[in-house]
Chains A and B, each alone.
Chain A
Amino acid sequence: MSDKKKVPIVEGLFTWPSDKPQLIGSKCSVCGSVQFPKSNACDNPDCDHSKPPDEILLSTEGTLYSYTIHQYDLREPFSYYKAPYAIGAIELPEGVNVVARLATTEEERLKIGMRMRFKVDKLYEDKEAIYLTYFFEPEG
């Protein structure tokens, strides 16, 4: 096992360190609308915006809205993205459709409408640390 520090690639998107990490969103206490990432304002145009939203943790299960497998590497500063890698949009029960890395590039395992489960895993590592991001993977 590596004893390198595990660091979220972007702070504030998911809870870390945690045994059961979750996406961090926010929910309006006035109208119930949910935002991701967390916001200091409600996003519902019909809300009276009388209170700022409260931080909440989002569901770890959702359904696959759509996906694609990226077949090109990215250039600097994102050259740690090496093809192929999969991207999807996940509909969460809270009413947000979140773009995410998918844990598999095997197309036969992916089907629009299928149940997906959240996890945090390694994105890449360098000499100093292991960088983490959030993924969704097919359930079961």
Chain B
Amino acid sequence: MIETAIANIEITDWIEAGRPIPSAMDRLTGVAVKTLRETGLRPKDLDAIIINTTALPFDEGSYITISAQHLAHRLADKIGTHGARCMNVCAACASAGIALATADAMIKAGLLKTVLIGGVDNSPRGFYFQGPSTLDADLAVSYPHKAVGITNPSYWAMWARRRAHEMGKSIEDIKELMALVKETQSQYGARNPHARYKKVFTAKEVLDSPIVCDPLHLYMISAVSSGAGAALITDMETARKITDKPVKIAASAVGSPVYGEPSPRLICFATAGAKKAKKPFIEWRKPIEMAYKQAGITAEDIDILEGHDTSCFHTINWIDQVKGWEREETDKLIREGQIKHNGKFPVNLSGGTSAFGESVMNQALIMIYELFRQLRGEAGERQASKELKIGACTVYGAYGSYGAIILEKGW
């Protein structure tokens, strides 16, 4: 099989959401050109451009599908190509991970060699709502906000409460654990020049913040932001010519809604399947298992994790799923400070979405960027103390969008 690599990746600083300036397209173009120039490649060298679509303008149904869904073509038009294949991918907050997996699969299949992936997003402010589309009046997903008043954090809160229940723990216990995750990750956001939030929180401050939907407090939920990023994905042979430190893509897996998932699925009214799995989150776990199989590794081989964290519960759940161990072990790991840069299993040293805020469809790029820098030893003050060989990035989004990416030192 053809080996693939990330030859380079760059991201912009994450900024406040909901402002049109600087323009989204200019930011995408800027970071795409920067990523290419650092490798010495030109747009003419690209075989494909795969860009994730965006949430712009997420909750205005009148023009949701037009320009924001064709960023690959608009980028190609702006930087010039000689016919690079343009594709736009969409998988909610998991989108950028799926763009990477698409590029990876096409290169591994021998169809092409150099692919620019990337994206830009500018989130709506406040709770995300489903747009009122008269042409897509799908009962299954279009009306939970309208009929039930359910918001994204309400789903996460229900998952967190259920986890505590299944473990026989109190609601205060899971709150304390989530507050500790925020405290830990904020220390790394403070050290990340690209992160929007630099404030270091104490667990007490987090627990003192207003309750949004119990057990989630305000500071346990990510803010909304705007940011852009781009990565150059190539076959390993090409990567070695343009960088001394190519980061190998050992695996990239795409997940989906799984029949029999017991827990409520984000944005949806219901999950079905009479013979449901006993434990929740089989949808989260499935692409991780696929990725382990592709890479020929097990959970023990993962040195560092970046897991998409729109709430502090997500960080906890990703550790549960990536490790596939008893959930008590996750709690112990977090409480003992072992997810810090000098711990046994560093998690979200980027600061995570917790410190960046979410630039919806583009969010996986902050995590892939972090793993790329960590594996190359370029993460500065955030650099993990232990020697790193293999890192995992797990992505998650609405409608049952998931992905898992395994990166490895390629030099």
Query: Residues of A at under 8 Å CB distance from B?
Result: 9-10, 12-13, 32-39, 43-45, 65-72, 74-75, 77-78, 81, 85, 87-89, 94-101, 107, 112-113, 123, 133-134
Is B1 located at the chain interface by the 8 A CB criterion? Answer: no
**Contact present for A36 and B212 (CB under 8 Å):** no
**Contact present for A96 and B132 (CB under 8 Å):** no
Given contacts A36-B270, A87-B158, A98-B270, 12 further A-B contacts (CB under 8 A): A36-B269, A65-B262, A68-B158, A68-B215, A69-B214, A71-B210, A72-B212, A74-B127, A74-B145, A85-B149, A87-B149, A133-B148
Residues from chain B with Cβ under 8 Å of A87 in the complex: 148-150, 154, 158, 213
**Contact present for B259 and A101 (CB under 8 Å):** no
**Contact present for A99 and B274 (CB under 8 Å):** no
**Contact present for B148 and A97 (CB under 8 Å):** no
Which label, helix, strand, loop or mixed, suits the secondary structure of the A interface? loop
Is B143 located at the chain interface by the 8 A CB criterion? Answer: yes
How far apart are A85's CB and chain B's nearest CB, in angstroms? 6
Residues from chain B with Cβ under 8 Å of A34 in the complex: 272, 274
**Contact present for A37 and B139 (CB under 8 Å):** yes
**Contact present for B211 and A71 (CB under 8 Å):** yes
Alpha-carbon separation in the docked complex, A74 to B144 (Å): 13
**Contact present for A70 and B151 (CB under 8 Å):** yes
**Contact present for A32 and B154 (CB under 8 Å):** no
Contact partner, B147, options A10, A44, A67, Cβ 8 Å: A10
How far apart are A87's CB and chain B's nearest CB, in angstroms? 5
**Contact present for B264 and A94 (CB under 8 Å):** no
Alpha-carbon separation in the docked complex, A2 to B10 (Å): 61
Contact partner, B272, options A71, A95, A112, A134, Cβ 8 Å: A95
In the complex with contacts A71-B212, A94-B274, A44-B259 CB distance below 8 A: yes
Alpha-carbon separation in the docked complex, A101 to B276 (Å): 23
**Contact present for B147 and A75 (CB under 8 Å):** no
Contact partner, A75, options B127, B143, B259, Cβ 8 Å: B127
Residues from chain B with Cβ under 8 Å of A100 in the complex: 148
Closest 10 CB pairs of A and B: A95-B274, A68-B157, A37-B139, A66-B158, A81-B149, A66-B162, A68-B213, A36-B270, A10-B143, A112-B165
Is B271 located at the chain interface by the 8 A CB criterion? Answer: yes
Residues from chain B with Cβ under 8 Å of A75 in the complex: 126-127
Contact partner, A96, options B144, B165, B271, Cβ 8 Å: B271
Alpha-carbon separation in the docked complex, A70 to B154 (Å): 7
Alpha-carbon separation in the docked complex, A36 to B264 (Å): 12
Alpha-carbon separation in the docked complex, A133 to B271 (Å): 20
Is B66 located at the chain interface by the 8 A CB criterion? Answer: no
**Contact present for A89 and B259 (CB under 8 Å):** no
**Contact present for B139 and A10 (CB under 8 Å):** yes
Residues from chain A with Cβ under 8 Å of B276 in the complex: 95, 97
Give the residue name and chain of the B residue nearest to A9 (CB).
B147
Residues from chain B with Cβ under 8 Å of A88 in the complex: 158
Alpha-carbon separation in the docked complex, A75 to B143 (Å): 15
In the complex with contacts A78-B129, A78-B145, A133-B148, A68-B272 CB distance below 8 A: no
**Contact present for B149 and A78 (CB under 8 Å):** yes
Is B140 located at the chain interface by the 8 A CB criterion? Answer: yes
17 A–B contacts from the bound complex (CB under 8 Å): A9-B147, A10-B143, A12-B139, A13-B143, A33-B272, A34-B274, A39-B140, A65-B262, A66-B159, A66-B263, A72-B212, A87-B154, A94-B274, A96-B272, A99-B264, A99-B268, A123-B147
In the complex with contacts A72-B212, A101-B149, A43-B272 CB distance below 8 A: yes
**Contact present for A70 and B269 (CB under 8 Å):** no
Residues from chain A with Cβ under 8 Å of B272 in the complex: 33-36, 43, 95-97
Alpha-carbon separation in the docked complex, A78 to B148 (Å): 10
Residues from chain B with Cβ under 8 Å of A112 in the complex: 161-162, 165
**Contact present for A10 and B126 (CB under 8 Å):** no
In the complex with contacts A37-B269, A75-B127, A89-B148 CB distance below 8 A: no
Is B279 located at the chain interface by the 8 A CB criterion? Answer: no
Contact partner, A99, options B127, B165, B270, B273, Cβ 8 Å: B270
